[in-house]
């Protein structure tokens, strides 16, 4: 049997750095760390289709491990393109996120649901993390600035989305409004239903004439 050249030292070092960053950050959110015990022993396989890359996320006690290889069957596998994973990550509605994103799930979906629940309550105390290096006063100022910037960005994004939507729907009439689309869909469904009924009536009429 020929030697297998792993050639993945770079990937391994990247995963090691990422794993270390995740676990160090989780140390500043004890509640989430505690919640991770629910997933103890579970393995999530994230398979990116283009480019073809795999990462195995192992939940061990209150921390996570990122492996490039796993010599057994993972509990859950998620496969899709990078953009699909990004869509899943950014999805607002967690209930429809998976179907909307184009990700394929195989195995135990409970692992993903639990992980989504845990990540929804993620609250890392970044201020405490920064304070270890800069002291409390500077960390607090930086925290205030970051919270302000985040709130401003959030509001600005929502406002931009609203303005863009109004412009496209009402000013330029490029796209229909949500209500128009919903009404159109209802009409199409109605026509479909009527056609089905008509077809059934014709069939019934045809059968009665034959007999």
Partner 1 sequence: MTDQQNTTHFGFQQVPVQEKQRKVADVFHSVAARYDLMNDLLSGGIHRLWKRFTIEVSGVRYGHKVLDIAGGTGDLAFKFSRLVGEDGQVVLADINSSMLNVGRDRLIDRGAVGNVQFAQANAECLPFPDNTFDCITIAFGLRNVTDKDKALRSMLRVLKPGGRLLVLEFSKPGNPLLGKAYDNYSFHVMPVIGKAIAGDADSYRYLAESIRMHPDQETLKSMMQDAGFAECEFYNMTGGVVALHKGVKP
Q: Report the nearest approach of partner 1 to the CB of residue 66 (Å).
A: 10
Can you list the pairs that 33-39 forms with residues at least 24 positions away whose Cβ atoms lie under 8 Å? 33/62, 33/63, 34/62, 35/117, 35/118, 35/121, 36/61, 36/62, 36/63, 36/64, 36/118, 37/61, 37/62, 38/114, 38/118, 39/111, 39/114, 39/115, 39/118
Binding part of the chain for partner 1, among 6-14, 85-93, 133-141, 181-189 by CB under 8 A, reads 6-14
Q: Which residue reads 């985040």 in tokens? A: 150
CA dist., res. 63 & res. 28, Å (int)? 12
Task: Answer for the pair 38, 118: CB distance below 8 angstroms, yes or no.
Answer: yes
Q: Report the nearest approach of partner 1 to the CB of residue 71 (Å).
A: 4
The answer to whether residue 135 forms part of the interface with partner 1 (CB under 8 A) is no
The answer to whether residue 120 forms part of the interface with partner 1 (CB under 8 A) is no
CA dist., res. 211 & res. 205, Å (int)? 10
Residues 50, 51, 52, 72: which binds partner 1 (CB under 8 A)?
A: 72
Residues 70, 129, 131, 142: which binds partner 1 (CB under 8 A)?
A: 70
The answer to whether residue 30 forms part of the interface with partner 1 (CB under 8 A) is no
Residues 18, 31, 69, 160: which binds partner 1 (CB under 8 A)?
A: 69
Of 12 and 142, which CB lies nearer to partner 1 in the complex structure?
Answer: 12
| Binding footprint of partner 1 on the chain (CB under 8 A) | 1, 3-6, 9, 12-13, 16, 40-41, 58, 60-61, 67-72
């Amino acid at each position: 049997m020929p030697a297998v050249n792993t050639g993945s030292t770079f990937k391994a070092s990247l995963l090691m750095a990422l794993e270390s960053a995740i676990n160090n950050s989780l140390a500043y959110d004890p509640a989430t760390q505690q919640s991770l015990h629910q997933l103890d022993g579970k393995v999530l396989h994230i398979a990116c289709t283009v480019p073809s890359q795999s990462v195995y996320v192992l939940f061990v006690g209150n921390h996570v491990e990122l492996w490039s290889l796993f010599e057994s069957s993972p509990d859950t596998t998620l496969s899709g393109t990078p953009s699909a994973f990004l869509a899943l990550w950014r999805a607002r509605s967690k209930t429809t996120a998976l179907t909307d994103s184009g990700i394929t799930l195989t195995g135990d979906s409970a692992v993903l649901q639990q992980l989504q629940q845990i990540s929804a309550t993620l609250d890392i105390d970044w201020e405490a993390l920064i304070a270890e290096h800069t002291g409390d006063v500077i960390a607090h100022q930086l925290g205030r600035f970051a919270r302000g910037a985040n709130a401003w960005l959030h509001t600005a994004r929502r406002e931009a989305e609203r303005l863009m939507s109004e412009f496209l729907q009402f000013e330029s009439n490029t796209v229909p409004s949500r209500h128009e689309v919903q009404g159109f869909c209802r009409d199409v469904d109605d026509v479909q239903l009527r056609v089905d009924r008509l077809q059934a009536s014709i069939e019934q009429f045809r059968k009665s004439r034959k007999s």
